[in-house]
Amino acid sequence: MLRIFYKSAEEILLSSNKDLLHSLDKESVLWIDLIEPTGEEKRSAEAFLGTQIQSRAQAEEIESSSRFHEAGGIVFANTNFLSPMGDEMGMDPVSFTLSKYTLTTLREIPIRSFDLLSNKIQARPELYKDGFSIFVEIIDKRVDLDADIVELISQETSQFSKRINQQEDINQEFLLDINQLQENAMVVRENVVDKQRIMGNILKSDLFPDSLDKKFSIILQDINSLINHINFTFERLEYLQDTVVGIINLDQNRIMKMFTLISLLLMPATLVASFYGMNVALPFSEWPYIWICILAVMVVIVVLVIIFFKRKKMM
């Protein structure tokens, strides 16, 4: 799918006709949005820009040199857009190609923030002078959504903390849930830091218009705040994880202590019972009520052991 946003008089119009690119000049085209494009659509956009648009494989590269570079007066930037997918975070790679006038985006799936922006562009055309202004708006909206994700992780962390304080369901599954939340926090942090690096590089580009410096600076401040927030949340999750491990260890130690005490309590009585259970002649074994005496001795021994443990504060 191909969407072309171009200026016509005082309006910004939208078209999906790739052939329109042959009749438009570069100054009038603000944004070319490629959503899982066909080969012809991608080639038409490349012919209009005069450069090759990065492929999905290039957009998914993790090396910093592949995430951003500038060549021939064109800026290439790649980043991931996060979206919660059950217990995990899904990553949708988006490739940006920025020339002096035009922004080109390449993505594989529909992204809600892009659709909302397309409506705003047509409703408020005076706010968007070139592709850089649209790019800044996309990143601004994305940072807001990342802030919502960070807040969601923070709320889940608070819920885990309450469950620990109330000591409910503190088990291995609970520990795995905290570990998954830690993984999500790390993914969000890496993604936000990636955007911070891309924004910093674009800000240093000669192509970047000075009129957007103030808005760019505000976005970078928001990103720094997000990084601090997610770092604090991650540290809190580590603390909760250590607490859960400590509680599980205490419970296991308490169980082992209980079994040990039961074994020690029964050991003397077991010894007496085993001694008189041997098939040999023993003193008083001919008495008709010797079993009562043996039982009484066993009870007395158990009571004495309990008194001893209590005095030693072992029970």
Structure tokens at 65: 């040199």
Closest CA to 82 of 74, 72, 90, 73: 90
> pLDDT tens for residues 278-293?
666 666 666 677 667 7
Q: Residue 143: which of 59, 203, 219, 225 has the closest Cα?
A: 219
Integer Cα distance of 277 and 271 in angstroms: 10
Instruction: Say if CB 10 and CB 125 are below 8 A apart.
Output: yes
Sole residue written with tokens 């995430």: 67
Two structure tokens written together for 5: 């946003």
Domains 2-249 and 250-311 share a fold: no
Look at residue 228 in the predicted model and tell me its pLDDT: 92
CATH number of the structural domain 2-249: 3.30.460.20
Q: What pLDDT is attached to residue 58?
A: 61
Which residues of the chain carry a pLDDT beneath 70?
Answer: 55-66, 168-169, 269, 272, 275-287, 290-291, 312-315
Tokens for 253, please give them. 């130690």
Q: Output the six-digit token pair for 111.
A: 């992204």
Sign (positive/negative) of CA torsion 224, 225, 226, 229?
A: positive
Residue 285: its pLDDT value, please? 63
Minimal CA–CA distance to 12: which of 134, 105, 104, 107? 134
User: How do the domains of the chain map onto residue ranges?
Assistant: 2-249, 250-311
Out of 3.30.590.20, 1.20.1530.20, 1.20.58.340, 1.10.287.3510, the CATH code matching 250-311 is 1.20.58.340
pTM of the model: 0.74
For residue 265, which of 235, 311, 221, 309 has the smallest C-alpha distance? 309
pLDDT computed for residue 62 by the predictor: 53
Residue 284 is predicted with a pLDDT of 63
